[in-house]
Every structure is written in C-alpha cells, then in structure tokens.
Amino acid sequence: MTKAIILDRDGVINVERGYTHRLEDFVILPDLVEVLQTFVQKGYLLIIISNQSGIAKGLYLQSETELLHQYLTDEMTKNNIFFSEIYYCVHHPDVCNCICRKPNSLFVEKAIARFNIDPSKSFFIGDKERDTEAGEKAGVKGILIEANSSLKNILNYIP
C-alpha cells in the first residue's frame, strides 16, 4: 500500500476568490511547489479533491475548470510534480443531490481503491471542515489550515 496527500484546491493550492474559474484569477499559492516537492520526496502520492459547484449553478463551464486543472498540471510538471488524479464534484445541493460532494467521502474512497492507498498513513489538507471531514470518513487524517496560507506551516505534521 502507498500513502497519499489529498489536497483541496481553492484556498490550499490556489488563492481562494470564490468560484475561481478564469485563468487570470487562478493564482498558485507561494511555497506550493517547494512543499509538494517535499511531500513527493517523502513518498506521498498527490491527489486533489475539490467541490466545483459553480458548474451546477451555471456560473461557469466544466471546460473552464478543466482548463485551470490543465494549467495547474502543466505548471507543476515543470517542477517534476505530478498529481495522480484531480477529482472534482460539479454538483450543488440547491441543484441536485450527490455523494461525491465533500463532506461526503466518495472521491476519497475512489482514490484509496484506485491507487491502493493506506488511509492510516495519508492526509487530507483543506481549508474548510468539510474537507477534513471527507478524509476522516474514509480513515484519512484531516489537517485544517487557514485559507490562502503557506503549506510550510504544516510540514512538521507530515512524517
């Protein structure tokens, strides 16, 4: 079994602006590359799980989300950082019910099964309680951070 760092997107990977969907508004947080490289050196897979309910609300298109994820992937690849997967929920409870939207744990469970992840050696880093709750429902330790803060602040919690 392997271990993983699961990350929320907005507020953890990039600056939280509320419904970030335009490339010009997608700002990768400082220190992200350095911290992700440290996680990789420690043997962790990197996975993103994000709620993107603006799609269900009609605020932006799924293709815009895909464009941001491709940009992020390209930027990280330049630094030898690779995400095993980027899962995102397109639903919103005002529009439809689903089991993939955090705090539900479907995407965490899918990642565990797909990548043979040991939940007891893995972490879910998020800026909202629903992020850590999703991880903990699947046996993954949650780490709650302040939105838009440096991930360097939690390096000591990750063996």
Catalytic residue among 8, 25, 118, 131: 8
Catalytic residue among 10, 25, 118, 131: 10
Query: Residue 25 catalytic?
Result: no
Instruction: Measure the CA–CA gap between 26 and 150, rounded to whole angstroms.
Output: 16
Q: How far apart are the first and last CA of the chain?
A: 16
Instruction: Measure the CA–CA gap between 97 and 58, rounded to whole angstroms.
Output: 16
Instruction: Measure the CA–CA gap between 124 and 156, rounded to whole angstroms.
Output: 15
DSSP string computed for 72-109 = HHHHHHTTT---SEEEEE---TTT---SSSTTS-HHHH
| Contact (Cβ atoms closer than 8 angstroms) between residue 122 and residue 141 | yes
Closest by alpha carbon to 147, among 5, 7, 16? 16
The residues assigned a catalytic role are 8, 10
